[in-house]
Chain A
Amino acid sequence: MMIKYIFYFLAFVSVFSALMVVVSKNPVHCVLYLIMCFFSIAGHYILLNAQFLAAVHVIVYAGAIMVLFLFVIMLLNLNTQSEPHKSTWLKFAAAITSGLLLVILVGTLKGSETMVMPLGNPNAGLIKNLGITLFKDFLLPFEVSSILFLVAMVGAVMLGKKEIK
């Protein structure tokens, strides 16, 4: 029973902070709300018995990515005054479009059965099992992702240079 209430609370926090990311005027507030959303999603991971993923999520998203966002916003000196606005008509159209998407996504769920029994190993999210899967079955993608990081690093440095001669 307790787990249910924790789920409700975390779901409320994540949906509320995600909405505030979209509607708040100040970009710095958007970043702070997004960090709140990421922390509540990390709580969901812990509820799902995926502790390693929760730790990595907090470190990578709340730690690295959001600091990068905050850094860029403060570098560009964005604030409420410089915030561009869409026309009311376009905002209305955006709300209608995403509402329809939500109706479609929820509609596909209708009539589906709820899974009650766990099928496999309940400790699938622990570091040991995750590490065995990562370095046994997914070794090649793991190595390829290091090349991806190298390419991203070189690309970011190239783009960030003042001018290319």
Chain B
Amino acid sequence: MSTIQAIPLNWYILLSAVLFVIGVLGVLYRRNAIIIFMSVELMLNAVNLLLTAFSSYRGDSAGQVFVFFIMAVAAAEVAVGLAILIVIYRNTSSTDINFLNKLKW
């Protein structure tokens, strides 16, 4: 028996919704910029899981190629983002996002 028959698609949608919401919670809840970055990665992974589930249930490999591209973009984003974070740390000696309030209001 394959997974497709055993597990309804709705469960995967629910699971990725929960993972996405935990990512949103992390972005709102924490003040450390690195943890916020990790929460963004969590959200990207929730979307990846949902795309893969839909692609497998439809039997269309285009969705999985899309996940592949999302992974490529995430890798590039992390490289640039962590470089920005190091520059921030060099200027403020902390990764607290509350020191970055020059653009507020």
Contact = CB atoms under 8 A, between A and B. Distances in A.
Contacts of B89: 76
B19 to A, nearest CB: 6
B61 A68 contact: no
A84 B94 contact: yes
Interface of B (DSSP majority class): helix
A144 B95 CA distance: 33
Contact of B35 (A15, A21, A48, A122): A21
B69 A60 contact: no
B37 A86 contact: no
A56 to B, nearest CB: 7
A45 B49 CA distance: 7
A22 B29 contact: yes
Interface centre among A94, A124, A137 (most CB of B within 10 A): A124
B65 A133 contact: yes
Nearest to A24: B35
B21 A98 contact: yes
A147 to B, nearest CB: 10
A11 to B, nearest CB: 5
Contact of B95 (A11, A14, A78, A133): A78
Interface residues of A, number: 85
B26 to A, nearest CB: 4
B68 A159 contact: no
Interface centre among A18, A34, A44 (most CB of B within 10 A): A18
Nearest to B54: A115
B62 A133 contact: yes
Interface of A: 1, 3-4, 7, 11, 14-15, 18-19, 21-22, 27, 30-31, 34, 37-38, 41, 44-45, 47-50, 52-53, 56-57, 60-61, 64-65, 68-69, 72-73, 75-76, 78, 82-86, 91, 93-95, 97-99, 101-102, 105-106, 109, 112, 114-116, 118-122, 124-125, 129-130, 132-134, 137-138, 141, 145, 148-149, 151-153, 155-156, 159-160
29 contacts: A1-B6, A14-B15, A14-B19, A15-B22, A21-B35, A21-B42, A22-B29, A30-B35, A34-B41, A47-B7, A48-B56, A50-B56, A56-B71, A60-B75, A85-B31, A91-B29, A94-B29, A98-B28, A105-B21, A115-B57, A121-B61, A125-B52, A125-B55, A129-B61, A130-B64, A130-B68, A138-B65, A153-B79, A159-B86
